[in-house]
Amino acid sequence: MAERPSQPGAELARLLFLGLLGLLFLMPYIWMISASLKPLDEIFRASLNLIPEGGGTLRNYARVLAEVPVAQYLWNGIVVCAGILLFQLMFAVPAGYAIAKLNFPGREWVFGAVMLGLLVPHHVPALPLYVGLSWLGWLNTYASLIIPSTISVFAIFLFRQFFKALPDELIHAARIDGMGELSIVWRVIMPNALPAATAFAIFSVVAHWNDLFWPLIAVTGHERATPALAILYYRSEEAGDDFGALMAASVIMTAPLVLAFLLAQRRFVEGIATTGLKG
Amino acid sequence: MPEAALPARALRAPASQARGARGEALAGLFLTLPAGISYVLLLLLPTIAAVLLAFTDYELGAPDVRWIGIENFRELVDDRGFVISLRNTIVYVGIVAPASIAGALVLALLIEATTRGKALFRAVFFLPVVSLPVGMATAWQYLLHPTIGPVNAFLRDVGVAGPAWLTSSDTVLLSLAFIGIWEAIGFNLVLFLAGLTAIPRELHQAAEVDGVRSAWERFRLVTWPLLGPTTLFVVTITMIRSVRVFDSVAVLTQGGPNRASEVLLYTMYTEGFTFFRLGYSAAITLVFLVIVLGLMLLQTKVLDRRVHYG
């Protein structure tokens, strides 16, 4: 708030307060990693030592890797997130372009439908989607995890806003060059929409890597379990009260996104807070 | 960049110019078709079906379905479990929303005022927003474990007997709300930081020239009114996000002990996917939808009337 250089005392107090609170915020991560490196008897002694006695052990991680198909879970997470994102872009980018830049009958209706769709949380269509997928016999497949999320009205809305700001001359020039509308979308519009597409991609991947609600409905069993489900299964079937192993499993499944966030912090914040307005 | 993306095929220009309005209309329809089909199949029809289901007695595997009007809703009113669930959800939102909003605002003002470490602090507080909620919930399960958890171990060291945070009906909702605040604060913080950046610095200087000396008065007279639109937005989005609490309940308490942490979406999930009473579950979904729509309506109403600065 202060425009002139504020007193060094106030600045120090602020930094100290923020630093202590920040440390408190990180406690779940610190203890999770610490416990994952401790042998079980040390965890049960409930000491407040963060550093494991004797330098710690990787046995918990070895146990998790030996007991459950970790690579399969992570792969499932990647396939599901990539599949969802691919379809979302394939559907939303052309639609966003058409609503923003083309005159066609019913355009207002389409845009109205998009706005209406923004009002509905994804939990609402879940029951009928479950019945439909179960009737088709598609539960427990990648398809059942991917298909319900392929339409993102939010993506259509976002791209429509972004494309509206692009100059019409860009499109006219492409038309004069004889390009069809579909190649205009992918070869002229898309390269210019990369900032919006990146932000949306981060938003989408974070949302679906972290989602528990839909995978819990669509999947039973390990074969197609996503990272979120994998932790639940591991706790109920293998780890039980062994918090060392459970924390190791949680670290493994949480790490990919957290590492990505630490590497591209600014983009993540932009992607989720400006894109994630829908919540 | 645009030049690079354009192949120079000027020879075909006359043809494309002649294409005209009909070509554009066809292209528009063609490009919206894939999104349109998936919208109808995956969002519109299932949502309508969910609304209709709420007025039936449909159960998965049952031989027939009957239209029973508002019978499900009548049952909801008398269902002690549902009433507790609705009340718990309101209490949860009532704790998480104000605490995470006020906390985020204070943090945003402090971070905005510091000269160093801005990006670091923002990253630290934002970390829970991107972390796998199920993974972090298990970390909280360990932290809050009554006997071996570090929180109670620390309390024992200072001579206090810590409660059984997640397994006692007195503290379970409070513990879940605390986790909810921890998850929500970074998201709100980033929105507030964006709002603060948009306030011109000259206004603070002008206020100071006009004799507004204390930082608190400057906040009250300048920052707070100008932050109005941001705050309103943060309030509604936080409420909508926290009404949807599900993961922490599903991982940590399954609604227990004794329904003390039963919340709307978790009740909807168990009725629908554990007991397969889809009609009844759809009725709960409808209640959930009405609450979310109500919050959105509130936002647009207040937004129309009050927002003077954007």
Q: pLDDT value at position A44? A: 86
- Interface ipTM: 0.90
Which residues in A lie closer than 8 A to residue B292 (C-beta atoms)? 119, 121
Residue B275: closest CA among B57, B48, B66, B51: B57
Q: How far apart are CA B145 and CA A241, in angstroms?
A: 11
Q: What is the DSSP string of B222-265?
A: IIHHHTHHHHHHHHHHHHHHHHT--HHHHHHTTT-STTTT--HH
When pLDDT is cut at 50, 70 and 90, the band that residue B305 belongs to is low
Chain B positions touching A87 (Cβ under 8 A) are 38
- Measured CA to CA, the distance from residue B216 to residue A146 in angstroms comes to 50
User: For residue B9, what are the contacts with CB-CB under 8 A and spacing of at least 6?
Assistant: A177, A178
CATH code for the domain in which residue A102 is found: 1.10.3720.10
Residue A125 counted as domain residue: yes
How long a stretch of residues is chain B?
310
More confident residue, A148 or B220: A148
Reported as a single tens digit per residue, the pLDDT across A92-123 is 999 999 999 899 988 999 999 999 999 999 99
Exposure b/e, A213-227, CB count within 10 A at least 16 = b? bbbbbbbeebebbbb
Residue A254 and residue A210: Cα distance in Å, rounded? Answer: 9
Q: Which pLDDT score is estimated for B139?
A: 96
Place of tokens 């991947």: A205
> Closest residue of B to A247, CA-based?
B139
Backbone angles phi, psi at B67, to 5 degrees: -80, 120
For chain B, give the mean pLDDT. Answer: 88
The alpha-carbon gap from B68 to the nearest alpha carbon of chain A, in Å, equals 18
> Any alpha helices (H) in B114-227, and if so which ranges?
118-130, 133-143, 150-157, 172-197, 201-209, 215-218, 224-226
Q: Which CATH class is domain B78-306?
A: mainly alpha
Inter-chain touch B246–A174, beta carbons under 8 Å = no
Compute, in degrees rounded to 10, the torsion defined by CA atoms B127, B133, B136, B137.
150
Q: pLDDT by residue (tens digit) across B144-188?
A: 999 899 999 999 989 888 899 999 999 999 999 999 999 999 999
Does residue B12 belong to the interface with chain A, where contact is any CB pair within 8 Å? yes
On whether residue A165 sits in a domain, the answer given is yes
Measured distance CA(A212)–CA(A229) in Å, rounded: 7
Q: Which of A31, A97, A128 has the CB atom closest to B142's CB atom?
A: A31
Across A156-177, average pLDDT = 89
Which range marks the domain in which residue A182 is found? 66-278
Note the pTM of the prediction, 2 decimals: 0.89
Model pLDDT for residues B97-147, shown as the tens digit of each residue: 999 999 999 999 999 988 888 899 999 999 999 999 999 999 999 999 998
Would you state the pLDDT for residue B19?
56
User: Between A and B, how many CB-CB pairs are < 8 A?
Assistant: 335
CB count in 10 Å sphere of residue B295: 17
Number of domains present in the structure of chain A: 1
In a domain, A141, yes or no: yes
> Which of B1, B142, B157 is most worth mutating to test chain A (most A CB atoms within 10 A of its CB)?
B142
Chain A CB within 8 Å of residue B178 CB: no
Question: Does some domain include residue A122?
Answer: yes
Within 10 Å of residue A46's Cβ, how many Cβ atoms?
Answer: 15
Pick among A76, A122, A124 to test the B interface (most B CBs inside 10 A): A124
Model confidence band, residue A274 (pLDDT cutoffs 50, 70, 90)? low
The secondary structure of B65-100 as a DSSP string is: --B-TTHHHHHHHH-HHHHHHHHHHHHHHHHHHHHH
- Residue A143 in domain: yes
Q: pLDDT-derived band of residue A262, with 50, 70 and 90 as boundaries? A: very high
Q: Which residues of A touch B128 (CB under 8 A)?
A: 25
